[in-house]
Amino acid sequence: MFNKLFLTLLCLFGSISLFAQTRGHEIAIQTDNDGYLGQGSDRYYTNGIFIYYRKALKADGDLQNKVLGFEIGQKMYNAQSGYVPNASYIDRPFAAYSYIGSTLNLLYKNESTLKLSAQLGIVGPAAGGEPIQKFIHNTFGFYALNGWQYQIKNNVELNLGAEYNKLLARASWIDVSLASYANLGNGFTGAGVGPLIRLGNFNQLFNSVSTQSTVSAADQTGLLHTHEIFFYYKPQINGVLYDATIQGPLFNKNHDPNSLEVTLDKKPFIFSNQVGVAFTTSRFTFDIAAIFHTKDVEEMLRSHQWASITGAYRFK
């Protein structure tokens, strides 16, 4: 009887372990804000909120993992402050971008990854930037706003994107990957490339926080670590061909002399640095990062920076 009980418990614990490794669904929330860095700033890319749902799909052939994702989000931008006395103080246009989107993440056994994305969104008053920022400021007793009357006007956008990552080299506690992306749309068009350096206990790119692929439809055997915890650094050069939050609508330019809309010209190249820490448990994932960007437009008085906090929960 003891042997039967032992075998039963062994099978139970084995099934629990397998359950933990094959959780194929994930919900996540990401919040970005420059205030998280504790500098007292409220400028440029000032707030972002995103909700994700990811589902692992069956992978075969050269694929080790495949993840389908859906998301909804909003990005909010203002000038050097959320309060400007008049339009001459606008060194980066007021704008909000709200969207719904989907992604397909293809993760190969050779640790190259390709993530395809599509977003349908809107820039302008219909994106809800002004009422949300007013709600935040009123709720927490921040200063009064002035400047959204100059925001980018309404423009519906379709934006497509692709991200490609490839492992370049790895030692026991450090690895280096190529990280790149390209966007094409009437809202955002551009590309970027740079290395991703990870230090600590990380997993392969086909099942890692780094590539938003911690869910899987099958048991991911042979992973480097049961749980991830690592620091990372991601410098990147970004080429910008078009940005509707700066330049306004691509096809529906404003010729109304009575309009208060303020647009500016984007800079062709932006340099960014991202440093962060990521870790996972059997069900939860966390990613905390600080991002530093050079100026988006020549008129900006300063470069800008913000922090990003992401939490995710995986389930069967």
The per-residue pLDDT of the chain, averaged, comes to: 92
CATH of the domain at 188: 2.40.128.140
pTM to 2 decimal places: 0.90
Give the CA angle between residues 181, 91, 260 to the nearest 5°.
105
- At 89-125, the pLDDT tens digits run 999 999 999 999 999 999 999 999 999 999 999 999 9
What is the span of the domain harbouring residue 59?
2-315
Number of domains, the chain: 1
Question: Per-residue confidence of the chain (316 residues) as pLDDT tens digits?
Answer: 333 433 433 343 333 333 345 689 999 999 999 999 988 889 999 999 999 999 999 999 999 999 999 999 999 999 999 999 999 999 999 999 999 999 999 999 999 999 999 999 999 999 999 999 999 999 988 999 999 999 999 999 999 999 999 999 999 999 999 999 999 999 999 999 999 999 999 999 999 999 999 999 988 889 999 999 999 999 999 999 999 999 999 887 666 777 899 999 999 999 999 999 999 999 999 999 999 999 999 999 999 999 999 999 999 8
CA pair distance 253, 238, nearest whole angstrom: 25
